[in-house]
Amino acid sequence: MIANEGAVGASEPPALKRDWRFYAGVAALLLAVIMPLCAVLVPLLGLPTAAVIDTPASKGRYYFGLTIILVSWLPAYLYAYFPGTMPAGNARIYLLAGMDLAFVASVLLMGGEFWEKVRRIFIYEGES
């Protein structure tokens, strides 16, 4: 009898606490839906193009950015193939987040020539 009574009590859903975490979660979900829809309006703002990407990079700056972009992939490969070599806990998250930020910074550091090279990868220049 006692086992049956426990099963009935376990089927009741937990009480919902509407504290700051609840409202923060609802706000995050709403922003996750609204922000991509607002991205459609960005071209209508008439903002100037980014001067950092359009300026030509020096040879040293380009190679420095290329080195950062290649080195920033190492933690991801180490984590994928040798997870025991990565630090445990929050240090792993900080390392992988730093890797992502280094990747983005290196792309901006390399300048417009890099974007032109990436664009040319997708252009077919062969004879048809």
> Tell me: the pLDDT tens digits for 66-116?
899 888 888 888 888 888 888 888 888 888 889 989 988 888 888 777 878
Number of domains in the chain: 1
Share of the chain above pLDDT 90, in %: 16
Residue 70 contacts residue 108 (beta carbons within 8 Å): no
127 within a domain of the structure (yes/no):
no
Which two tokens mark 74? 């190492």
pLDDT range class, residue 9, cuts 50, 70, 90: low
pTM of the complete model beyond 0.75: no
Which two tokens mark 5? 């009574």
128 within a domain of the structure (yes/no):
no
Instruction: Provide the domain limits for residue 86.
Output: 2-121
CA distance 65 to 107: 7
28 within a domain of the structure (yes/no):
yes
126 within a domain of the structure (yes/no):
no
* Mean pLDDT of all residues in 18-30: 93
CA distance 109 to 12: 56
91 within a domain of the structure (yes/no):
yes
